[in-house]
Chains A and B, each alone.
Chain A
Amino acid sequence: MSKQESTVLSPRQMAFRRFVSHKAAVASCIIIGLLTLFIVLAPLTARYGVNESVQAPPNSFLTPRAKSWLGTDDIGRDLYSRLIYGVRVSLLIGLASAIISVTLGALVGAVAGFRGGKFDDIMMRVTDLFLAFPFLVTLLVVRNVLGALPWLRPITGDMSSVRFIIVLFGLFGWMGVARIVRGQVLSLKEREFVEAARAVGASRRYIITRHLLPNSVGPIMVALTFSVVGAIIGESTLAFFGYGPQAGDGATSLGILVGAAKGAVQTGYWWLAVFPCLVLIVIALSINFIGDALRDATDPRLDRGV
C-alpha cells in the first residue's frame, strides 16, 4: 500500500484537483480553447470572407465538397467560414452580456443578502416573479420596451444591433445570479471573519467588497459560465424567431445561421441545419460542463470523500 502524497492540500489545490478530475470539463476546456483560437485567428482559419461567394453562380445550396467543406447557403457563401465569424459574434454576445449580468447580479445579491429586511424581500419577490414567467415572453416584451424608449438609444444602439442584444441579455441574466450570490452571502454572514469585521466597525461597503464578494468567487464563476450559455442560446432563440441581430453588412451570428435552418427543414438542405446546430450544441455543452465542474470544485460541501 503506497502512502505517498500525504501532504495536506490547500482548499485551492483541492478545488483544482476536483476540477481536473472532471474529465468532461477538461475536454470542454480544450474544445473551447481551440474554438477561441479559431475565431481569434479568423482571417487565417476562415477560407472565405463573411460575404464572399465560393464561386461564380450557380453557387447556391452546394452540398459539402472540397471547395466548401460544409456546403454553401442560398447565395453561395461558404458555411464553414460563416460559422467561424458567427461563433465569434455569439461568443462576444455571451461573454459581454454575462459580465454585465454577473456584475449586476453579484452586487444586488450581495446587498440584498447582507442587508436583509425589506430590500431583500422586495428584490427576491421581483426575481421570483420574473423567473416564474415564461422566459421567451418576457424577453420579447422587454426587448420591445427597451427598443421603444428613445432615451435609451445611446446605450442600447439600434434594436437590430449586436450591442442591443448584449444590453438586453445583460439586463436579463442578473436575477439568477442575484439568487445564488444572496444565498452564499447569507451563509457567509454568520461566519467568524465577517462577524469579526463587523465587531471592529468595518463599513458595510468594506465588508461586502473585501469579505463577502471574494469569498463568493466560486458561485459567481459558476453563475458566469451559465450566464454565457444562457445568452448564447437566448440569442440564437431570438434570431430563430426573427428577433435577433440583423445581418447588416453581412455580419452573422450563430443565431442567424441556426435561424436559416428553419427553411432548410422543408427543402432538405440538411447541412444548413445540422452544422450550425451542432456547433451551438457543442459550445453550450462544453460551457455547461465547465460550469458543472467549477461548481463541484468550489462547493465546500463536497470536501470529503469521492
Chain B
Amino acid sequence: MAEKVLEIRDLHVTFDTPSGPLEAVRGVDLDVSAGELLGVVGESGSGKSVSFLATMGLLPARARVTGSVLLAGEQLIGASAKQMRSVRGRLLSMIFQDPLSALNPVHRIGDQISEMLRSHQNLSARDADKRAVELLDIVGIPQPGDRARQYPHEFSGGMRQRVVIAIAIANNPKVLIADEPTTALDVTVQAQILEVIERVQERFGTAVVLITHDLGVIARVADRVNVMYAGRNVEQGTIESLFDHPSHPYTRGLLASLPRPGKQRLKPITGFPPNMLNPPSGCAFHTRCEYAADICKGEMPPLVGFGDLQTACVRAKELPKSESFV
C-alpha cells in the first residue's frame, strides 16, 4: 500500500450553540493514501463537511476541535495560524458545494487563480497569469486566455466549478478535498466535473477525498469508501468489499435504498437522522437499526477489523450475511 498522506485520529468538533453544546464530530478515524480517491458518504448532518473543514482549519472560532490530524507527518490540530496558512492551498485544498457563490464576484477569474499561485510560490505576476491560463486549460475551459479576463458572473455553474478546481489544484496539493462538488449542478454537468476531478487525480497523483450523498458516484470513481453516521465513521473499506458484503446495518440500508437495475422496490432507511444536540447513547444508529439490541445502547462501538472491512457495530459478527450489491 502507498504511503499515508492524511491520517485523522479521534477527531472531535463541538459547537457552542444557543441551545447548548453541539458535538458534530465525535471521534472520527480516517486515512488517505497518496494518489487514492476516498469517498465519504453519509446522510445530511452526519458531520462530513465539519470533519474536513476542521482538517483545513476553516471552522469558525467558536468550534472546539480536538484529536489529531497528520498531513504528510505534520500535526495540524493546534498548529499556529501561520503554519495552517502555509499548509492550506499548498498541501491541502478544498472545493465546495456551491460554485455560484464560491468565487469572489468582483475579481477576475485569472486573478483569483494567480492569487493562489503567488501566495505559495515565488512567481512573477506575468508567470502566474500564464500558469493560470494553463490551469484553466487543464480543467477544460475553452479559450482560457480570454476567459481568464472575465468575471465569475460571466461563467455558468459548471464552468465556475471548473475554475474552483483549477484554483484548488494550482499548487499541486497532496490532498484535494471535494465537498459535494456536483450537488448543485445539472446531471450532465455533474459527470463532466467528476471526469475533471479524475483526470486531475491521474495526471498529478493527487489524493482526493470526495464527499457525497450519492453512492452511485462513489461506486464509479472511488477506490475506498468511508461511511459516516451521527459524527462518527461506522464503516470503511475498499469499494469492492463494501459493495460486495457490507457489514454495518447502516451501510446495508444505504445500499438497499440505491436504485439498481432488475430491482423495482427501493428500501429507504426508516426514521430520521438523530438530533446532534442530544444524540442517542451507544451506537447512535440503534434508534433506526433493525438488528438493535440492548447491548447497542451501552458503549459507542469502535471501528474494528471485520474481514477486509472496518466496522463499528457490536453485533457485526452475529448478523446474517448481507446480499451483494455489486
Contacts and interface: CB of A to CB of B under 8 A. Distances in A.
Interface of A: 1-6, 8-9, 17-18, 21, 305-306
Interface stretch (B13-21, B45-53, B96-104, B302-310): B13-21
B277 A21 contact: no
Contacts of A17: 18
B257 interface: no
Interface in B36-80: 60, 62
A4 B275 contact: no
Interface string B1-26: 00000000000000101111101000
B17 A6 contact: no
B278 interface: yes
Interface of B: 15, 17-21, 23, 60, 62, 275, 277-278
Interface SS, B side: loop
A9 B20 CA distance: 13
Nearest to B23: A1
A4 B18 contact: no
A293 to B, nearest CB: 15
Given A3-B277, A3-B278, A9 B21 contact: no
B19 A6 contact: yes
Contact of A6 (B18, B60, B277): B277
Nearest to B275: A6
Nearest to A305: B17
Contacts of A4: 20
A242 to B, nearest CB: 49
A8 B20 contact: no
Contacts of B21: 1, 3
A15 to B, nearest CB: 12
Contacts of A6: 19-20, 275, 277-278
9 contacts: A2-B20, A3-B21, A3-B278, A4-B20, A6-B20, A6-B277, A6-B278, A21-B18, A305-B17
A214 to B, nearest CB: 26
Given A6-B20, A18-B18, A305-B17, 4 more contacts: A3-B277, A3-B278, A6-B19, A9-B19
